[in-house]
Amino acid sequence: MNNMDKAILSAFPLVAVPTAEPLQEYAEHGVRFLVGKTGVMREVSLPWLQIVHPVASLDGGLQLPYGELEASVRVRCSRVPADLIRQFTADARAALPNEVAAALIWNSKTNQWRYQVRKSVVANAVYVQFEEVRMADSEHLVVDFHSHGEHRAFFSEVDDQDDHGSMKFSAVLGNLDHATPSSAIRLCMAGLYMPAAIKADGSLEVTL
């Protein structure tokens, strides 16, 4: 095999799901593709998340001679501390009528979270552009928050561009002039978006 294709296969291994034994766990952090009985799935393994989701499904009754595989998701990081969300809500209110952005960063060594406001380069009522946060080796940007000021929370075309290709939870708070802000959250997985939630106890949930 030529070196280019060897490198691609090494970076993104392709695995046939076994029929007679369990699939070997993906011990590394990275992306691999799994070919099963009814289609192809992508497995993404990160310090804070492990997900297996379909990328291509067979139809018309065709089945491949490999094992069965189910979609799954496991959040590996600890719960998001409530004071970080309170902090962002307060910062988003203080920034009114402008937008603001912040990073919720999880440390895989200490299992602790920290909050960092993203320094705005340009901020107004419909747009915020910011400097990227600096993180230590064991730190991961898990939840990327931004606000929509007095506008409702939703993912705009600009948000889609900002989130394109990234792997993180993306969350928006809106209607910050109201007592109860509106909110929206999704999981960004390198080109795909999945519905997500931060539950009342701070646990992160993904709907496959």
Residues that bind Zn ion (CB under 5 A): 156, 159
Q: Given the complex with Zn ion, which of 73 and 101 has the nearer CB atom?
A: 101
Q: State the nearest-atom distance from the C-beta of 126 to Zn ion, in Å.
A: 9
Q: State the nearest-atom distance from the C-beta of 119 to Zn ion, in Å.
A: 18
Query: Which residue's C-beta sits nearest to Zn ion?
Result: 159
Six token digits for residue 167: 């792997």
Instruction: Round to whole Å and give the CA distance between 185 and 202.
Output: 13
Q: Given the complex with Zn ion, which of 144 and 159 has the nearer CB atom?
A: 159
Q: Given the complex with Zn ion, which of 38 and 89 has the nearer CB atom?
A: 89
Q: Given the complex with Zn ion, which of 91 and 159 has the nearer CB atom?
A: 159
Q: State the nearest-atom distance from the C-beta of 159 to Zn ion, in Å.
A: 4
